[in-house]
Amino acid sequence: MFSDKFKARLAGLALAGAVLSVPGVASAGVVVKSSGPSAGSYPVGRQVADSATITLRAGDKITVLTDDGTKVMQGPGTFRVGEGATRQRARFSNLTRRNASSRSRTGAVRSAGEGKPRRPNLWLVDVTSEGTTCLYDFERVRLWRPTAGDAATYTVTNATSANSLDVTFAGTEAIRALDPAGLTLSSGASFTISGPTSPMMEGGDAMAEDPAAGQQAASTINVSFALMPQDARTGIQVAQALAERGCTTQLALLGDVAEAEASR
């Protein structure tokens, strides 16, 4: 007869073997762009195994980030996800670089087909974009505005506590830091961003000097924030974390840049 201790050891070894043989541990890519008749089957954020074979119909276009780079598949045809990926280039690296948000000044990305400027780095907070924004550090937050013409002020307000902070962009400045001593962001909390308003309007003189200055009303958007895992470093890890946290705008921008680089 085997002792209870020996049986427990055998059970442990059997369990370890079972874990090692689980098929789910295979490498998987993340869908970052999806359009066409099969888009519903491959929504943005879905994980697909590198070993998977995908059959697309005419009009389909699916972009997947894999461990080896970006795989763009355009139907009709049958494709293996893990084969023929294009390695990401400098533009993709600059977009996802953590510290780039502190020194980015120009070079905003333009979204496909719109010509609308979009943030040059994923970790900038777009003051015109609703929804959830993922960040690595809530103590070093930088706001970004798509149109940097005149000086303008935006107000960030905690929807629960009503604590708020005014952030003023000077002249053609596109990026401005959020003072953590004045307002601290937190994961899952709801905030609003209101603006822009002209610094002159706050003093009441702008309307007298230029009646048209008050014709554009400031808008208010609802935003929230989610904390990124510190070990998310590669493109696929970033994409997975963005998808899991519902940071869809950032994921869409990641997909735009990845697809544009892979199509060159």
Cα within 13 Å of Cα(17), Cβ side: 6
Residue 199 placed within a domain = yes
Which residue, 124, 145, 142, is CA-closest to 133? 124
Query: Do 56 and 97 fall into the same domain?
Result: no
State which residues of the chain have pLDDT below 50: 1-25, 102-113, 203-216
Query: Do 52 and 137 fall into the same domain?
Result: no
Residue 155 placed within a domain = yes
Query: Do 56 and 121 fall into the same domain?
Result: no
Residue 176 placed within a domain = yes
Residue 216 placed within a domain = yes
Return the pLDDT at 98. Answer: 84
Domain boundary among 80, 115, 144: 80
Domain boundary among 17, 51, 80: 80
Q: Which domain holds residue 150?
A: 90-262
Query: Do 242 and 179 fall into the same domain?
Result: yes
Query: Do 58 and 105 fall into the same domain?
Result: no
Phi and psi based region of residue 110 (left: phi greater than 0; alpha: psi -120 to 50; beta: remaining)? beta
Residue 4 placed within a domain = no
What is the number of other CB atoms lying within 10 angstroms of the CB of residue 175? 21
Residues in the chain: 264
Query: Do 52 and 156 fall into the same domain?
Result: no
Residue 72 placed within a domain = yes
DSSP-derived secondary structure for 45-94: T-EEETT-EEEE-TT-EEEEEETTEEEEEESSEEEETTSSPBPP-HHHHH
Query: Do 229 and 130 fall into the same domain?
Result: yes
Return the pLDDT at 18. Answer: 27
Query: Do 133 and 159 fall into the same domain?
Result: yes
Residue 8 placed within a domain = no
d(CA 140, CA 136): 9
The structural domain count of the chain equals 2
* Residue 208: strand, helix, or coil: helix
Return the pLDDT at 140. Answer: 93
d(CA 167, CA 145): 11
Domain boundary among 55, 80, 105: 80
Query: Do 254 and 133 fall into the same domain?
Result: yes
Residue 112 placed within a domain = yes
Return the pLDDT at 101. Answer: 52
Query: Do 240 and 112 fall into the same domain?
Result: yes
d(CA 54, CA 195): 45
Query: Do 59 and 161 fall into the same domain?
Result: no
- Yes or no: say if 195 and 154 are a contact pair by the CB < 8 Å rule: yes
Query: Do 118 and 45 fall into the same domain?
Result: no
Return the pLDDT at 27. Answer: 77
